[in-house]
Amino acid sequence: MTTIEALAAELMALGVTGPAGPQGPQGDAGPQGPEGPQGSAGADGANGADGAAGADGATGADGATGATGATGADGATGAQGPAGPTGANGDNIYVAYASDTSGTDFSLTASPSLKYIAIKKTGTWIETPEASDFAGLWVKYLGDDGATGATGAQGDTGAQGDTGATGATGATGAAGADGDADAYTPTTSSDWDGTAPTTIGEALDRCAALLKTLNGGTGP
């Protein structure tokens, strides 16, 4: 310790304070003291400015189609419009038929024999049309009849017809004349061995009677 420092220490011990000396150089930093207790929370800061708007989201799917509404009631019928102007009178059409261009066999009814036709269009009404009304209008519209064709081949024979019904029974014939009393009768035993037979039938009967007699029988 220097002399000055020693003197200052003594004066301080005696309670005498001298004028302050010049500040000494800063000493070295002391070791860090222990961490102090946590301070109280500070006041909330002011709200920040709003952020920029976000991008639009994707478009959602279409919703289901709603049910069809009920059909509205029919509106009232509108008033009838004014009547239109009267139309022009139409032409009269007449059709006639004939057998030649002169109007022979004139008729207003078609027929296969009337091969000419005339059609007249006029604004004048004809009460009773005549051939003269169609002069110069006749045209042939049906062709002439063709030649007669060759005879066709003969057709197949038809099926046999059904058998006719049985005719009524004829009347009974007249009674025959009486026979000869001496005629041969096969069932008459006296004729079996009488005169000689005159027919083959009598001869056969005679043989049959003989055979039966030999066998113990009788008759032909």
At 151-172, the pLDDT tens digits run 989 989 889 988 888 888 888 8
Q: Terminus-to-terminus CA distance in the chain, angstroms?
A: 213
Place of tokens 């017809």: 161
pLDDT of residue 105: 97
Alpha-carbon gap, residue 220 to 198, rounded angstroms: 16
How crowded is the C-beta side of 98, counted as CA atoms within 13 Å? 21
Question: What distances in angstroms separate CA 199 from CA 26, 157, 163, 178, 188, one per listed residue?
Answer: 203, 51, 41, 20, 16
User: What 3 state SS string does 106-146 have?
Assistant: CECCCCCCCCEEEEEEECCCCCCCCHHHHCCCCEECCCCCC
The C-alpha R_g of the chain, in whole angstroms, comes to: 80
Alpha-carbon gap, residue 91 to 120, rounded angstroms: 10
Q: How confident is the model at residue 181 (pLDDT cuts 50, 70, 90)?
A: very low
Contacts of 204 (CB under 8 A, 6+ apart): 220
* Window from 49-53, 67-71, 103-107, 115-119 with minimum mean pLDDT: 49-53
Alpha helices in the chain (DSSP H): 3-13, 200-214
Mean pLDDT of 115-137: 96
Alpha-carbon gap, residue 45 to 38, rounded angstroms: 19
Give yes or no for residue 192 having a pLDDT over 80.
Answer: no
pLDDT of residue 16: 58
Tokens encoding 33 = 């003291």
